[in-house]
Amino acid sequence: MAAGPPSGVQRQPRLTLVSGPSRGGKSLWAEHLAGASGLAVIYLATGPSLPDDAAWQERLRRHRLRRPPAWGCREVGGALAAGLAQLQPGQLGLVDSLGTWVAAHLDLEPPDWGLRCDELLGALGTCPAPLVVVCEETGWGVVPATADGCRFRDRLGTMQQTLLARSEAAWLVLQGRAIDLLALSQPVPPGS
């Protein structure tokens, strides 16, 4: 039998999901969890660079400024599975975010999308480092007016449920408050 962590030391969950609506504080909470881990944090950025989008560049700048200088950062874009494969024991991967990864593959047809999801799930299963994955909540209000918007909402929601089933910790962050989902919730019974 493998020995657990020393008395008084909590084991780092293998996979932690942090979800919530826009501007609710999910990235800040994920960064807090990563920093508290005591591991070397590697930030895996899945968003596009968009050099001509001033608002996006400002958002990236704010994210970079608040990260501790000791943290590594890899701009993996849609190649998240490959980024996970590069992580090492003793590191913690902070993925921000699942939504921008989904958006990077929105043009894939269902069979290719399924393969991309399988690739990511395989990489999550073999990743030697614990992970904190930020994911956006969509569909809480306005229904997307486009086919791409509906596809994004549906794919992201399905991936979130798939990842939650594999997670050891999950947080819902809204209005600047973090709620422990696994401690305070019940699973929804499967549908027919």
Residue with tokens 């994004």: 152
- Containing 132, the helix (H) or strand (E) segment is strand 131-136
Query: Number of C-alpha atoms within 13 angstroms, CB side, residue 130?
Result: 23
Q: Which residues contact 5 (CB under 8 A, 6 or more apart)?
A: 11
**Tokens representing 149?**
């918007």
Please give the distance of CA 32 from its chain centroid, rounded to a whole number.
14
Q: Which residues contact 142 (CB under 8 A, 6 or more apart)?
A: none
**Is 16 exposed, middle or buried, given 0-12, 13-18 or 19+ CB atoms closer than 10 A?**
buried
- Is 63 labeled as catalytic in the residue annotation? yes
Catalytic residue among 63, 67, 74, 105: 63
Catalytic residues: 63
